Amino acid sequence: MKIIVDGMGGDNAPLEIVKACVQSVEQLDTDIVIVGKQEKIEEVFAKEGLSKNRIEIVDAQEEILMEDEPISVRHKKESSMAKGLYLLKDGAGDAFVSAGNSGALLVGSTLFVRCIKGVKRAAFAPTICSIHGKFILADGGANIECTPEMLDLFARMGSVYIKGMFGVENPRVGLANNGAEESKGLPMYVEAHKLLKEDDKINFIGNVEGRDVMYNKCDVLVCDGFTGNFILKCTEGAALMVFGAVKDVFKTNLRTKIAYLLASKEVGIMKKKVDYKEVGGAVLLGISKPVVKAHGSSDQRAFFGAIRQAVNFANSTIIEDIEKSVANN
C-alpha cells in the first residue's frame, strides 16, 4: 500500500503532515509519497530527527493557497496538489490525501483522476460522530446547488461507502429537511424525496430534521453541499462549545475539580466519540480512485486519521461497488 500526500496543504503543513506520515509508516505499515517543496520537507525531517524509512519526497515548488480559486489547480501544475493527483492518476500510489483547498481538490480530482463511470458529480462525504453513533453527510460541500437526481446519486454512493467502510448492512438514508412531512422543504427537496422513496437501491427512511441529526436517525444524510457544509461546521462548533463549557464548569472550585478527577475517564471517552480528529477526513465519493480531504487545521493526529481512512478506503471494493450501484442510473 502506498499513500500519496499533499505535503504543503493545510494550516500546519509541512510539519504536522510529515509527522503524521512517519507515524503512518510505523503504525499502518504503508509506504508514503510526500509531494511538496523538498527543501522545507527535508528541513522538518532533519530538525525533528525523523526517519525517512519508506517515505519518498517528490519536489513541487508551487502551492495552492486556501484563498485561491478552485480552478487554480489546473494552472498550477507544479503545485503539490496537482502533482499528487497526477501521481494518483498514473498509478504511483493507491490513494491521495490533502488538507489543502477543498474546491481545488474537487476540481483537480474531477479533471485529472476523473469520476467513476456513471457519476456526473462527486460529493464530499465527511463522517460525523456523536455520542449516539456515526453517519456520513453527502454532500458535505462540493456542490452548492443540486438537482433531485444528484441527491439520489449521493444517496446510492453514500450507502455503498458506509456499508463498505463501516460494515453497516442496509444503511438508512435520510434527507435533511425542515420537517418530517413529505411536502416539506424547497421544491427541489420535495422532488428529491419522491426520487429517494422510489429508489429500490437504497433504504430511504424519510426526512430528518435538524434537531434529530445527532441522534442516530440515519447512516447517510443526504443534502446539497451548502446545507451539508453548514451542518458539518455547526456540529464541529457545537462539540467544541459543549466540551469547552464542561471544562469551565470543572474548573469552578475545589468540589468540581474533585468531580472531574472522578469522572475524567468517562468524559474523555465521550469527547473521543465526537472528536473529528479521530475520524480522519471527508472522502470524495464518485472519483475513480481514493481521495481524502483532511481538515484544513489538521494536526498530526487528525492527518494520521485521514491517512488511515485512505488506507482503509483503498483496501476496500467501494469504488467498484459504487460503479455497479450507479450503472444505468
* Residue-range domains of the chain with CATH: 1-119+286-329 (3.40.718.10), 126-278 (3.40.718.10)
Q: Which residues 6+ apart lie within 8 Å of 284 measured at CB?
A: 105, 106, 109, 122, 123, 124, 125, 142, 291, 292, 293
Residue 272 pLDDT = 66
Q: Which residues 6+ apart lie within 8 Å of 71 measured at CB?
A: 104, 107
User: Could you give the angle at which helices 187-198 and 148-166 cross, rounded to 10 degrees?
Assistant: 50
Grid cell for residue 78: 507544479
3-state helix, strand, coil in the chain (%, to 5): 50, 20, 35
Residue 277 pLDDT = 66
Say how far apart CA 244 and CA 297 lie, in whole Å: 18
Per DSSP, the three-state class of 173 is strand
Q: How many residues does the chain have?
A: 329
Residue 259 pLDDT = 75
Instruction: Specify whether the CB–CB gap between 44 and 65 falls below 8 A.
Output: no
Residue 52 pLDDT = 95
Residue 35 pLDDT = 98
Prediction pTM value: 0.90
Q: Quick count: other Cβ atoms within 10 Å of Cβ 199?
A: 17
Residue 90 pLDDT = 96
Grid cell for residue 214: 445527532
Locate all alpha helices (DSSP H) within 99-186, ordered by sequence: 102-108, 148-166
Per DSSP, the three-state class of 186 is coil
The b/e string for 123-142 (b: 16+ C-beta within 10 A; e otherwise) is bbbbbbbbeebbbbbbbbbb
Instruction: Specify whether the CB–CB gap between 192 and 183 falls below 8 A.
Output: no
Residue 329 pLDDT = 59
Residue 105 pLDDT = 96
pLDDT in tens, the chain (329 residues): 999 999 999 999 999 999 999 999 999 999 999 999 999 999 999 999 999 999 999 999 999 998 999 999 999 999 999 999 999 999 999 999 999 999 999 999 999 999 999 999 999 999 988 777 789 999 999 999 999 999 999 999 999 999 999 999 999 999 999 988 888 888 999 999 999 999 999 999 999 998 898 888 999 999 999 999 999 888 878 777 777 887 887 788 888 878 777 777 777 766 666 666 667 789 999 999 999 999 998 999 999 999 999 999 999 999 999 999 988 65
